[in-house]
Amino acid sequence: MQTIGILGAGQLARMLALAGAPLGLRFLVVDTAADACAGQVAPLLLADWRDFDRLADFASRIDVATFDFENVPAETAQWLTEHVPVFPNPRALATSQDRLEEKTLFRRIGLETPDFEAVDSRDDLARAVERLGVPSILKTRRLGYDGKGQFRLKSPADVDAAWAALGGAPSILEAFVPFERELSVVAVRSREGEFRAYPLTQNWHADGILSASLAPAPDSEALAPLAFAHARRIAEELDYVGTFALELFVQGGRLLGNEMAPRVHNSGHWTIEGAPASQFENHLRAVLGLPLGDTSALDIHVMLNWVGELPPATPILAEPRAHWHDYGKSARPGRKVGHATVCARSAEEMRERLTRLGRALGREEQVAPVLAVLKGAG
């Protein structure tokens, strides 16, 4: 029986462990927080990311290492490669940790991006605003996710406030893109280079955090081949092994690269109930060198994210083909504490279910944009 070591013990590690149990896998998770929620389903080792004595113990007890989140120090990942196979590799991790390197990679493989400028000083920011204009978004190059480490400039007068808000950290300024919708590719690549992708997913955010996902994304057939080709080229360029997500803006029929996540992804949670092999199972298959599973969508699926606190579970559990996921976390503003996935055979059936759930949960605002798209889907 093989043991998978996971750096980071949040909900993604939790779902990886749950997906691996039917495969007869064991898990050891490591985190800096004693109450990390994956510790409820797998043994938890408490360690700092640079406590190499503790990490040596971790490495001695596992067969392969992977990640729950991308902000594990790249040097920690590199150190681990000297002791145990690590997937995805440290280069992929380091690239995704730096927005400038990430955007540069996208352009190198032929994926367009919003215009951007590197910003290392207050003067750099002023020059970047002059070139790109406003509105625009200043983002830290590192350690930003779920809307953190960002400041939207509405006028040139915001330069000082933006620079102060990000603490003068190395950053990039991105031109604002009036995109029509956001799509994500959740894909997986094996040790042998086999590549598979799930159907494109359409996403909606609230306060920078994913609120809802719809899969397959309606009217995305014409975009899918190019989106998948971009994802494949990125994976091959990085020699990536495992599941990852590529977030894309759609503007006037063009695809623009927003960012990638070198791990299983929130927008792929629907695959737990909605695909023959979930993103979590396929990640484990990939890092262990096993054949990849089927990534097709079984029906229409909507994932609703619970942020801050959980709504009542009863309306979800009472709804046919609706699935409840509680991450075992305490409530806290801005914290992802669970999700639900609703499955249906048709757009009409999904509209009926989401309408009922929105009313029962008091979440009409959350489901409204999904309902609007489903209405157009027939």
pLDDT tens digits for 270-319?
A: 999 999 999 999 999 999 999 999 999 999 999 999 999 999 999 999 99
Residues facing 150 on adjacent strands: 139
Give the SS3 label for residue 261. strand
pTM score, two decimals? Answer: 0.95
Give the SS3 label for residue 370. helix
- Nearest residue to 58 via CA among 40, 35, 37, 31: 31
- Nearest residue to 210 via CA among 305, 279, 274: 305
Is pLDDT at 367 greater than 60 in this prediction?
yes
* Rounded distance between C-alpha atoms, residue 42 and residue 36, angstroms: 11
CATH class of 115-175: alpha beta
70 pLDDT band, cuts 50/70/90, is confident
Using N-to-C axis directions, what is the helix angle for 279-288 and 11-20, rounded to 10°? 70
pLDDT digits (tens, 9 = 90+) for 177-228: 899 999 999 999 999 999 999 999 999 999 889 999 999 999 999 999 999 9
Q: What is the dotted CATH code of the domain comprising 3-86?
A: 3.40.50.20
Domain extents in the chain: 3-86, 115-175, 181-376
Sign of CA dihedral 369, 370, 375, 378: positive
Q: β-strands 3-7, 64-67: how paired?
A: parallel
Give the SS3 label for residue 187. strand
Share of residues in the chain with pLDDT > 70 (%): 98
Q: What is the dotted CATH code of the domain comprising 181-376?
A: 3.30.470.20
